[in-house]
Amino acid sequence: MTLHDWLWPGFLAFVAIILFVDLFVLHRRDHVISTSGACRTVGAYVGLAMLFAGGVFAFAGADRGAEFLTGYLIEQALSLDNIFVIALIFTYFKVPAEAQYRVLFYGIVGAIVMRLSLIVPGVKLVDQFHVVAMALGGLLIFSGFKMMTSGDDMVDPGESFAVKLLMRTGRVTPEYDGARFLTRRNGLLYMTPLFVVLVTVEITDLVFAVDSIPAVLAVSNDAFIVFSSNVFAILGLRALFFVLSGMLRTFRHLKTGLSLVLVFIGLKMLFAQYIEIPSMVALGVTALIIGASVVASILHREESSETER
C-alpha cells in the first residue's frame, strides 16, 4: 500500500484521536471553559494546522500548500460569523455555561461528517461538469453581495422550522438535565432543551456550509485538500467560540471583508476557464482582504473610543 492510499484513512484516524482525547481526556467533566484555556487550545489547533500545511508544502508542492492555506483561511474567517449566530442561539435557549462545550463538540462532529459527505462528490461534480463550477461561482458572488447588504439583522432561533417541529412533539422537557441530550421521564425517552440547541447548531452549520464549501471548492480541485483545510478550521471552532463570542461585534468591517472574499473567489471560479489565478495569488488576495477588514475594524473601534472620551 502506497503513502497516498493511507492518506484518507490516516487523516480520519488522526481526527478521531484528537476528538477522543479532547472530549474523554481533556474535557471528560463538564465545566466552564476559561478564556485563557480557550486561547491555549486555539493556539494548539492553529499550530497543528500550520504543521500540516508545512507537510503539504513539502510533499505536495507549493500550489497545493497555498490551496490548503487559502481554504483554511476562508473557512476560519467564515466561521467567525457562525460563532456570532451560535452565541445568539446559546443566549436564546439560556444554555448553561458548563454544557456549552459539549454542544459545540458534537456540533463539530456533525459538521465534519456533513463536509465529508458534501466535499467528495462536490469535487467530482465540479471536475466533470463545468456548468456546476459556474453555478457555484455565481452562488458565491450572490452570497457575497447578500452578506454585504444584509445589515445586522438579528436571528430568532425560536422561529426556525426545526425548533417548532421538535417542540410540537411534546417530548421536550421544560428544563435542562445537566449536559444530557436525552432523558427518561416515567419510563419514556424525552429530549432535553440541549438536544434542541444541538439540532439548531447543526442546521446553522449547514446554512453556513452553503457558502464555505463552494468557496473552498473554487480554490482547489483536490478533495483531500478541501476536506483537510475545512476540518482544521472546524476543529478550533469550539475554543475560538469561548475566545471571541463576546467581542465579535467589535469587528464591524469583517462582514464586508468576508463579502469581498466570496465575490473574489466566486469570480475566480466563474472565469477559471478563461483566466487562471495562481494559488499563491489567491492566498495573498484572501489574506490581504481579511487582514485589512480586521485592521479597519480595530482602527474604527479606537476612533469611536476617542470620540466617546
- The number of residues making up the chain comes to 309
The half-sphere exposure of 206 on its side-chain side, counting CA atoms within 13 A, is 11
Rounded to whole angstroms, the Cα distance separating 145 from 143 reads 6
Determine the 3-state secondary structure of 125 from DSSP. helix
Taking CA atoms, 38 is separated from 49, 116, 145, 150, 204, in Å, by 17, 26, 33, 31, 22
Taking CA atoms, 94 is separated from 22, 197, 220, in Å, by 24, 10, 40
- Contact between residue 30 and residue 179 where contact means Cβ atoms under 8 Å apart: yes
- Taking residue 275's Cβ as centre, other Cβ atoms within 10 Å add up to 9
CA angle 49, 109, 11 (to 5 degrees): 45
- Angle of the 237-244 helix axis to the 97-128 helix axis, nearest 10: 130
Annotated domain spans of the chain? 8-308
- Contact between residue 107 and residue 42 where contact means Cβ atoms under 8 Å apart: no
Rounded to whole angstroms, the Cα distance separating 309 from 306 reads 5
- Contact between residue 85 and residue 155 where contact means Cβ atoms under 8 Å apart: yes
Q: Which three cell numbers stand for residue 205?
A: 452549520
All residue ranges of the chain with pLDDT < 50 are: 1-3
Q: Which three cell numbers stand for residue 110?
A: 456533525
